[in-house]
A and B are shown apart, each in its own frame.
Chain A
Amino acid sequence: MYAQMVQSEASTDDPEKLAAFQARIDAGEKIEPKDWMPAGYRKTLIRQIGQHAHSEIVGQLPEGNWITRAPTLERKAILLAKVQDEAGHGLYLYCAAETLGVSRDELTEMLLDGRMKYSSIFNYPTLNWADMGAVGWLVDGAAIMNQVPLQRTSFGPYSRAMIRVCKEESFHARQGFDAIRKMATGTPAQKKMAQDAVNRLWFPALMMFGPSDADSVHSTQSMAWKIKMNTNDELRQKFVDQTVPQIEFLGLDLPDEGITWNEERGHYDYSDPDWSEFFDVIKGNGPCNTDRLAARNKAWKDGEWVRDGLLAHARKKAARKHAAE
């Protein structure tokens, strides 16, 4: 997902406080920033929300790659509005993380020097215009699977950010499907683009949910804290079940020969992604890791004089006002 393989911290706090805290969560109460919370809860959340925020910001790049080449004015406006929304979602999430006592600049530095990760999916390239449809439809579609339940997460600011994100996100998957549908029913060249996009992005989309975590200790703790709401496998299955009929509707070939309806389970069977590829991407060896981080570093470094300049002016203005009073 946008936050993959987040390690949760073991708790070393007072057992009585821990029990009271867990009772609040079990009762469905929201934890707010000034409430007492286990150090592990705080650390895990910073990691998870931070990674989620970074994914939104790095996620601007593969789609931003096509803004200047969008084929019509309307498609350009839709794509730009969508990528802009991602910047907004990153902003909301950074603000949620900031309530836990870490600043946005600190989080940014950790992204830029590689201490913090972002979702593996954004290390794949966008190579033809149909990718803009496929990213909206498959990647955002997969993200929504995770984000909808996270609206009920136990941490108040995270939950509120997710509510806002989900509200805005509802148009993303739809515009993606609309864009790829146009291609799938278009000229032979367009149909080829659509098929190419689905073939390339299918397994990376499945990887977004992360490796199977049914027996993971981290997962159990995070689920008890209600900062992870479902297992990776549950969400992945839901995604496959929802998406396969959509691919068929588009008249495209299924991107995996292993996809078959399993009557007994009432779900589609599908092939597992190549997890060695996933771990390579996580380690920094995906097709675009180096370029993505370089682009973020460049924007941050080139922007320093702007951030400093505007702050210096604000301080001067305040000083002048103060002197005049």
Chain B
Amino acid sequence: MAAPLTDNEALFQFLLRMGDNTLILGHRVSEWCGHSPVLEEDIALANTALDLIGQTQMWLGLAGEVQGEEKSADDLAFLRDVWDFRNVLLVEVPNEDFGRTLMRQFLFDAWHSIQLGHLMKSSDERVAAIAAKTSKEVAYHLERSADTVVGLGDGTEESHGYMQAALDYLWPYVGEMFVSDEVDAAMAKAGIAPDPASLRADYDALIGRVLAEATLNIPDSGFAHKGGRNGKMHTEHLGHLLTQMQWLQRAYPGASW
């Protein structure tokens, strides 16, 4: 068994979790650009992706600082392999269709907005500052994704079918956001971030309200895939995503772009 985490290592891991979530989700959302159902949605999705890329620069930038090995946000994004990534599995599953993309966005936004609400009160000023800036963006993401989930859930029979299928597929990936481990314990103890498990009640209330309005049924299962937040077992999809994302940096090492 490895030596116990130092506070600094725990903080680094926590920042990777925040930054990898936004990095991978931002990447997925950016895949829609030019292919959305309607121009207005294309523009809106690009805005969401742009926000997430900007948030990644902040979280991974701070992670690099805390790590103390002179690594930039780009180094962390483009030069780590799958096992070093700390995002939840939810954000790496493929877009599939617009319904699944928006459902994934909503399920993530709901957690993200609650999490950032707590982080604004973080004992670490740098974390609190990033949270204060990004929480406004995320509040809008949540408003938009929740509205779209309601609109499509309560739309036509066909759109309802797509959204229920999306929820059924994604539900097993929700639980991982609320599993606490030793990194979280260290963060909670230091007053830097809340214990993930403590966010579940607020989360259930929020998504329960929206999904009821969307006339969708939350699957009756508490099963949760896990392995993303600690890097022990990502999905097969992440490797393919990184193959694209990191290609230029890997093929032409040391070049400046």
Contact with A along B148-163 (1 / 0, CB 8 A): 1011101110111010
Q: Which residues of A contact B50 (CB under 8 A)?
A: 77, 80-81, 84
Within the complex, which residue of A60, A75, A306 is in contact with B99, where a contact is CB–CB below 8 Å?
A306
Q: Is the CB of A68 within 8 A of B245?
A: yes
A61 on the B face (CB < 8 A): yes
Q: Which residues of B contact A91 (CB under 8 A)?
A: 39-40, 43
Q: Is the CB of B36 within 8 A of A303?
A: yes
A83-B46, A84-B46, A307-B37 known; A67 vs B252 contact (CB < 8 Å): no
Q: Which residue in chain B gives the minimum CB-CB distance to A83? A: B33
Q: Is the CB of B34 within 8 A of A60?
A: yes
Contact with B along A307-323 (1 / 0, CB 8 A): 11111111010000000
Contact with B along A40-61 (1 / 0, CB 8 A): 0000000000000000010011
Q: How far is the CB of B246 from chain A (nearest CB, A)?
A: 9
Within the complex, which residue of A73, A182, A190, A299 is in contact with B252, where a contact is CB–CB below 8 Å?
A190
A38 on the B face (CB < 8 A): no
Chain B contacts with A in 61-98, Cβ cutoff 8 A: 73-74, 77-78, 97-98
Q: Is the CB of B30 within 8 A of A80?
A: yes
A303-B98, A312-B159, A313-B154 known; A80 vs B46 contact (CB < 8 Å): yes
Show the binding face of B for A, using Cβ within 8 Å: 23, 27, 30-31, 33-43, 46-47, 49-50, 53-54, 56-57, 73-74, 77-78, 97-99, 148, 150-152, 154-156, 158-160, 162, 244-245, 247-249, 252, 254-257
Q: Is the CB of B37 within 8 A of A304?
A: yes
Q: Which residues of A contact B37 (CB under 8 A)?
A: 299-300, 302-304, 306-307
Q: Which residue in chain B gives the minimum CB-CB distance to A304? A: B37
Question: What are 21 A-to-B residue pairs whose CB atoms are below 8 Å?
Answer: A64-B35, A71-B78, A71-B249, A73-B23, A73-B77, A74-B57, A80-B30, A91-B43, A182-B257, A186-B257, A190-B255, A299-B37, A302-B37, A302-B98, A305-B159, A306-B159, A310-B151, A311-B155, A312-B159, A313-B152, A313-B155
Cα separation A294 to B151 with both chains bound (whole Å): 28
Show the binding face of A for B, using Cβ within 8 Å: 57, 60-61, 64, 67-77, 80-81, 83-84, 87-88, 90-91, 94, 129, 179, 182-183, 186-187, 189-190, 295, 298-300, 302-314, 316
Q: Give the 7 A-B residue pairs with the shortest CB-CB distance, closest first.
A: A303-B37, A309-B159, A309-B155, A60-B34, A84-B46, A64-B34, A306-B37
Q: How far is the CB of B252 from chain A (nearest CB, A)?
A: 6
Q: Is the CB of B53 within 8 A of A76?
A: yes
Q: Which residue in chain A gives the minimum CB-CB distance to B99? A: A306
Cα separation A224 to B33 with both chains bound (whole Å): 39
Cα separation A298 to B150 with both chains bound (whole Å): 25
Q: How far is the CB of B125 from chain A (nearest CB, A)?
A: 23
Q: Which residues of B contact A312 (CB under 8 A)?
A: 155-156, 159
Cα separation A60 to B245 with both chains bound (whole Å): 19
Q: Is the CB of B155 within 8 A of A308?
A: yes
Q: Is the CB of B78 within 8 A of A72?
A: yes
Q: Which residue in chain A gives the minimum CB-CB distance to B247? A: A69
Q: Which residues of B contact A75 (CB under 8 A)?
A: 257
Q: Which residues of B contact A314 (CB under 8 A)?
A: 151
Q: Is the CB of B30 within 8 A of A309?
A: no
A60-B34, A308-B156, A314-B151 known; A87 vs B39 contact (CB < 8 Å): yes
Q: Which residues of B contact A57 (CB under 8 A)?
A: 34, 39
Q: Which residue in chain B gives the minimum CB-CB distance to A316? A: B154
Q: How far is the CB of A282 from chain B (nearest CB, A)?
A: 22
Q: Which residue in chain A gives the minimum CB-CB distance to B41? A: A306
Q: Which residues of B contact A309 (CB under 8 A)?
A: 151-152, 155-156, 158-160, 162
Q: Which residues of A contact B47 (CB under 8 A)?
A: 84
Q: How far is the CB of A68 from chain B (nearest CB, A)?
A: 5
Q: Is the CB of B39 within 8 A of A306?
A: no
Q: Which residue in chain B gives the minimum CB-CB distance to A75? A: B257
Cα separation A84 to B46 with both chains bound (whole Å): 6
Q: Which residues of B contact A189 (CB under 8 A)?
A: 252, 255
Cα separation A83 to B30 with both chains bound (whole Å): 11
Cα separation A76 to B77 with both chains bound (whole Å): 12
Q: Which residues of B contact A183 (CB under 8 A)?
A: 257
Cα separation A87 to B155 with both chains bound (whole Å): 26
